[in-house]
Amino acid sequence: MDNHTIFIPFNQPPYTGNEEQYIKQALQSGKISGDGKFGNMCEQWFQSQLQCKRTLLTSSCTHALEMCAMLIDTKPGDEIIMPSYTFVSTANAFVLRGATIVFVDIRPDTMNIDETKIEKAITTKTKAIVVVHYAGVVCDMDAIRNIAMKYNVPVIEDAAQAMLSTYNGSHAGTLGQLGTFSFHESKNYTSAGEGGLLLVNHEQWIQRAEIIREKGTNRSQFFRGMVDKYTWVDIGSSYLMNDVSAAYLWGQLEKADDIFHNRMKTWNMYYESLLPLNTKGIIALPIVPDECRHNAHMFYIKVDDLHVRTQLLEYLKNNGIYAVFHYVPLHSSPAGQQYGRFDGTDEFTTKESERLLRLPLYYGMPEQYCKTVIQAIYQFFS
Ligand SMILES: Cc1ncc(COP(=O)(O)O)c(C=O)c1O
């Protein structure tokens, strides 16, 4: 292949065309801080699309997770159960409040937390179970909710990658007491680079979530005319999304179906074209359980081992194709060792994470790019 003529990026931030016009409107409105016109429109959209009680736009998914840690009253000594194969923020949000992280192994088929290994990790100190819907494929929520109910602990969904994914018809983020999403530029929908969303499904936490997002003040109630002055009432921080970011996001939500189907088309092309390599046992393709509808957030393949992955990444790079891997398992990171422990044996987390490689996939990716990547993978394995 001629490596001087192609350059296929791993990601391009989604842009549909209306974002600029809405940003201009926001700028001209004279109100660009949080809880503005576009922010409210986006929150209403999510409440109706996802079928949930209250959504709060935040400055990032990391911040939405930090709000979760406050909402469940995380204290030093508490234990939070989660997979080790996840982004650092899933753990950091709780460590910031003094918790110890208890890492549980993943399932090799979905790369999600292994629901059969959670119960053994529960102790009297367990404060919450945090699940991560990897690649937009929802965890086995029936099993997880049953365990959580048995031990009376909340379930928090880190649905950063799972916007518009469903599980038995219900949306990701609505299946636990709290759900968080990311609008980082690498996600299916972005709010101009950084942003997030918190879903508060537990009604009794809605008011407190608004307070935590507003620096610990009851300013939201003040604006609704519920109190005659606003004041400091709780812990909190500055977690609102500004209205310029929300205006960008609104441009994306208007085209949400288009973005969804466009990504799905690329995902399906990868899947169908690479299936023969999967059948021959040369690579493994993603597995989506019947009860899950995924959102084409990511297309990954798994090769034999770390050595093959390193070679394949290099081969693709030499051909102008930027594929990536991610998540050094948190329990093997310096901070993960300091602030957490792995429960049971690491049967799959390290091994499976070393095999995984993500292929370029973004809204508007030319079909020819997808074909070029597929061709390069076939050439590598021939
Ligand atoms: C699983 C998971 N959790 C949390 C985050 C953090 O999201 P943000 O960048 O919006 O803070 C990410 C971002 O990549 C993620 O993939």
The total domain count for the chain is 2
Range of the domain at 224: 19-253
Q: From residue 5, how far is each of 8, 323, 375 by CA, in Å?
A: 10, 17, 15
For residue 10, the SS3 value is coil
Say if ligand 1 is within 6 A of residue 182 CB.
yes
Say if ligand 1 is within 6 A of residue 245 CB.
no
Q: State the DSSP H helix or E strand holding residue 131, giving kind and residue range, or none if neither.
A: strand 126-132
Q: Tell me the CA–centroid distance for residue 32 and ligand 1, in Å.
A: 24
Say if ligand 1 is within 6 A of residue 160 CB.
yes
Residue 109: name the closest of 270, 294, 272, 267 by CA. 294
269 and 210 inside one domain? no
- Residue 279 CB-density burial (10 A; 0-12 exposed, 13-18 middle, 19+ buried): exposed
Distance of alpha carbon 139 from alpha carbon 113, whole angstroms? 7
Say if ligand 1 is within 6 A of residue 180 CB.
no
Q: Is residue 8 part of a domain?
A: no
245 and 284 inside one domain? no
For residue 121, the SS3 value is helix
Say if ligand 1 is within 6 A of residue 113 CB.
no
> At 373, which CATH number?
3.90.1150.10
State which of 60, 184, 188, 326 you would mutate to test the pocket of ligand 1, scoring each by most atoms of that ligand within 8 A of its C-beta.
184
Q: Tell me the CA–centroid distance for residue 28 and ligand 1, in Å.
A: 31
Position 212 scores a pLDDT of: 98
Distance of alpha carbon 155 from alpha carbon 149, whole angstroms? 9
Position 5 scores a pLDDT of: 65
For residue 232, the SS3 value is strand
Say if ligand 1 is within 6 A of residue 196 CB.
yes
42 and 187 inside one domain? yes
Position 4 scores a pLDDT of: 53
> Which atom of ligand 1 has the smallest separation from the CA of 183?
10
Q: Tell me the CA–centroid distance for residue 63 and ligand 1, in Å.
A: 10
249 and 268 inside one domain? no
CA 363 to chain centre: 17
Distance of alpha carbon 316 from alpha carbon 380, whole angstroms? 9
Q: Is residue 1 part of a domain?
A: no
139 and 285 inside one domain? no
CA 227 to chain centre: 36
Q: From residue 2, how far is each of 16, 202, 318 by CA, in Å?
A: 31, 56, 9
Q: Are 219 and 241 in contact (CB under 8 A)?
A: no
84 and 36 inside one domain? yes
Weakly modelled stretches of the chain, pLDDT under 70 = 1-5
Distance of alpha carbon 250 from alpha carbon 244, whole angstroms? 10
Distance of alpha carbon 295 from alpha carbon 317, whole angstroms? 27
Q: Tell me the CA–centroid distance for residue 380 and ligand 1, in Å.
A: 32
Q: Tell me the CA–centroid distance for residue 194 and ligand 1, in Å.
A: 10
> At 241, which CATH number?
3.40.640.10
Place of tokens 């996001």: 249
Say if ligand 1 is within 6 A of residue 133 CB.
no
Q: Is residue 199 part of a domain?
A: yes
Last residue of a domain, one of 253, 277, 302: 253
